[in-house]
Homo-oligomer: A and B are copies of this chain.
Amino acid sequence: MPTKAKSIRRTLADLIRQVWEENLRLKASGLVTMTWGNVSGIDRRRGIVVIKPSGMDYTALRPADMVLTNLDGRRLESARMPSTDLPTHLVLYREFAEIGGVVHTHSTYATAFAQACRSLPCLGTTHADYCYGAVPVTEIMRSSAIREHYEANTGRMIVKKIRRLRLQPGCRLQPMACPFIFVANHAPFAWGATPAAAVENAIVLEAISKMALLTFLLDSPRRSLRRSLGGRRTGISQALLDKHYLRKHGRSAYYGQTQAG
């Protein structure tokens, strides 16, 4: 390995280790069957993305296996091939400056929503604590978009949907107010300020997807006829959504240990 490359890996050692650890944590969380998941992180100053190698077993994974690329996807002295989903990650990094980590999984319940091409209305405060409104589902891809630049087009369809979210004043910026999405016929993507935050959001999405599916099952037949048909079950009140989302993420948040005592 040439001296310059070695020095990039050395400079980014912390991020590389972080991305490696978060890939292992994702596996340990139970969200990943086989190798169906990947975590990436970015060094914004240098414009370098670190991502899991393609198709490698998590138990064999070492920090040295992590793949480095620039924002155009050019590999930087990495022996491994990057995850095939790299172009999706790159679109998200290029479009949303706030994002520091991206996660893709095929976690069971979130994937069921993606396969049903169904968005997830905010049905409770667990959801409202993390996401300001419904979890959207992307449009179904046209054949032409599938045949050429499929993975990048997946990213573009995510961005298109997220850009359209209507937010409240005082709320965080768009990609953070809804830090996950279902890709139609495929599976979820999640993101966050750091790789660790992105993994947490992926875990949250799986949990609220399961809770929502069970809630649908509990809707009595009459109610479900009224609410579910045509997707008109709209979820909790605006006041409750505001309360929970903003007490954690708003200007005067009072959840956690960071606010003034």
Which of A's residues lie within 8 Å of B, judged by CB? 33-34, 36, 53-56, 80-81, 84, 106, 108-109, 111-116, 118, 123-126, 140-141, 143, 146-147, 150, 185-187, 200, 203-204, 207, 210-222, 224-225, 228-231, 236-240, 243, 247, 254-257, 259, 261
Contact = CB atoms under 8 A, between A and B. Distances in A.
A247 B84 contact: yes
Contacts of A140: 237
A142 B159 CA distance: 35
Contact of A214 (B109, B231, B240, B254): B109
Given A185-B240, A214-B109, A257-B56, A219 B116 contact: yes
Give the secondary structure class of A's interface: helix
Given A124-B186, A146-B243, A203-B34, A220 B215 contact: no
Contact of A123 (B81, B115, B228, B256): B115
Contacts of A257: 53-56, 80-81
State the 5 A-B residue pairs at the shortest beta-carbon distance, nearest first.
Answer: A55-B256, A112-B214, A143-B239, A116-B218, A115-B124
